[in-house]
Amino acid sequence: MKKNLLIALAAAAISTGAITSANATEWYVQGTGGLSLGSITAHIDGDNDVTLRDEGFNGRIGAGAYLSNNVRIGLESGYAAFSENATDIDVWDILAVAYYDFKNETAFTPYIGLGAGFSQIKVDFDDGVDSGKETTNHFSTKLGAGVGYEISENLELLAEYSFQYNFKAEAFEDVDYSAHQNQFNVGLRYSF
């Protein structure tokens, strides 16, 4: 019992030290935009899959805090839009994210990150014979990597890639949707 208490206290002390040793810049806001290669799959009756693939615009905004010189956490929200034949698809998301920055002696800072949250996918189709609209809510995950280039003490130019997966959710009776996106973005991060 005492051993577990000592381990817990040591972990708390290390965590507190990491947070209090954060760099002078404690908060950030960022915005990115770019190309999204998207795919949405309708899983019909559990046996048949119909997949639409298209490229479209995506944009993301985010804000967060530095927990240490290398670790950031925050919230991000994004939007992506696709059109394939007679189908329009809109994807909104909000994710809790964590990043690890590989600090070095240059103006370039590579980073990796992950996130989890929720997405809402709106599908609107009208092929002249059938039409319909459906909105589904999905659990979503994101993995990414990028690099920041220090323009000034508080401003970075960003280039990043991320993969986002939206898990299955029921759309119609016997029809589930899942979706994923490969996102290639550029943007800016301001730290204060």
User: CATH no. for residue 168?
Assistant: 2.40.160.20
Question: Is residue 8, in this structure, part of any structural domain at all?
Answer: no
Does residue 94 form part of some domain?
yes
Instruction: Tell whether 16 is covered by a domain.
Output: no
Q: Is residue 166 part of a domain?
A: yes
The DSSP annotation for 19-60 comes to HHT--S--EEEEEEEEEEEEEEEEEETTTEEEEEEEEEEEEE
Mean pLDDT, each 10-residue run in order, the chain (192 residues):
48 47 73 92 75 87 96 97 83 97 96 97 80 88 98 96 89 77 96 94
Q: What is the pLDDT of residue 179?
A: 86
Domain hosting residue 109, numbered range: 24-191
Q: Report the pLDDT value the prediction gives residue 58, as an integer from 0 to 100.
A: 93
Number of structural domains (the chain) is 1
